[in-house]
Amino acid sequence: MNASKTPDFIFSEPEKVYRAKAKENLSSHQLADFRKCPQLYRKKQLDLIKDEDRPAYLIGRAAHKLILEGQDTFNKSYAVGGPVNPRTGNVYGANTKAYHEWADAQGKPALTDAQSALITNLAAGVQAHKLAKVLLSEGIAEGVVRTEYCGIQCQARFDFFNPGRGVIDLKTCDDLTWFEVDARRHGYLHQVAFYRAVLAAAAAGKMFPVHLIAVEKKEPYRCGVWRVGDDVLGMAQKENEAAMRRVLKCREVDNWPTGYEEVRTFDYL
């Protein structure tokens, strides 16, 4: 396989298409829901529980768009600013009726000037990190892979795939000092282990490196890069695969427990 060429089994498609195909394909986020609670996974699958959308998620998505896909794509995807109050000469506040009416009329997600400035600073923080800049210098953003893995049709959408350096996952965080703790707490390691394994299933077993890039959402917008160790990925992959075997069992009997059906014992401080 040519290291400088993106593999043919990684392709681009609109996010709406990817989300629609989650009905038939297991994703890393769905597997994370299942590991937490099989019943949660099933209810989301049946649209009985909707994913919550928070302001922080909007910032994260917009930052990904700018950092990974560039200014032109960002400009096409987001509206920035707002209507000006003729009495004050200032833009209406984001909580006002005038702003909401303006935002609704844009036909795409809207960002305030303050949000746009934050996203610009995040992008500058990533670009200031020499290794992060190299990792994102060649490859495909938001590439998709679909294949069978562990007997289940799966899909993965990578933040970025660099043919020579593998999977790159971009995260924003509140404090870079605690990113490694947050990565474990939020399941980032299981997420990228799933990415690597699905990619390997499509690539006839070839294992690609995995990197995490994290950038801080406050001054001085510190950016860090982590190469995720093969041992860590292997352990997370084993836990993912054990969960996927449970997915198959739950599907077979159509029984989706919460995971808290039995009495538990507090036996440590």
How far apart are the C-alpha atoms of 130 and 225, rounded to whole Å? 10
The residues facing 143 across adjacent strands are 158
Residue-level pLDDT at 1: 38
Residue-level pLDDT at 47: 93
Burial of 86-123, coded b for 16+ CB within 10 Å and e otherwise, reads: eeeeebbebeeeebeebbeeeeeebbbeebbebbbbbb
Order of all β-strands in the sheet with 210-216: 140-149, 152-162, 166-173, 210-216, 223-227
pLDDT tens for the chain, residues 1 to 269: 344 688 899 999 999 999 999 999 999 999 999 999 999 999 999 999 988 878 788 999 999 999 999 999 999 999 999 999 999 999 999 899 999 999 999 999 999 999 999 999 999 999 999 999 999 999 999 999 999 999 999 999 999 999 999 999 999 999 999 999 999 999 999 999 999 999 999 999 999 999 999 999 999 999 999 999 999 999 999 999 999 999 999 999 999 999 999 999 998 87
Residue 213 φ then ψ, to 5°: -115, 130
Helix (H) or strand (E) holding 156: strand 152-162
pTM (predicted TM-score): 0.93
Residue-level pLDDT at 6: 85
The label of the residue with tokens 């000006």 reads 84
The full set of domains in the chain, from first to last, is: 9-48+129-258 (3.90.320.10), 53-127 (no CATH)
CB neighbours of 167 closer than 8 A, spacing ≥ 6?
A: 158, 160, 161, 192, 195, 196, 199, 208, 209, 210, 211
Residue-level pLDDT at 2: 41
Residue-level pLDDT at 4: 62
How far apart are the C-alpha atoms of 256 and 244, rounded to whole Å? 13
| Number of residues in the chain | 269
Residue-level pLDDT at 268: 81
Q: Which candidate, 226, 193, 190, places its Cα nearest to that of 208?
A: 193
How far apart are the C-alpha atoms of 82 and 112, rounded to whole Å? 7
Residue-level pLDDT at 185: 94
Query: On the CB side of 182, how many CA atoms lie within 13 Å of its CA?
Result: 13
How far apart are the C-alpha atoms of 233 and 239, rounded to whole Å? 10
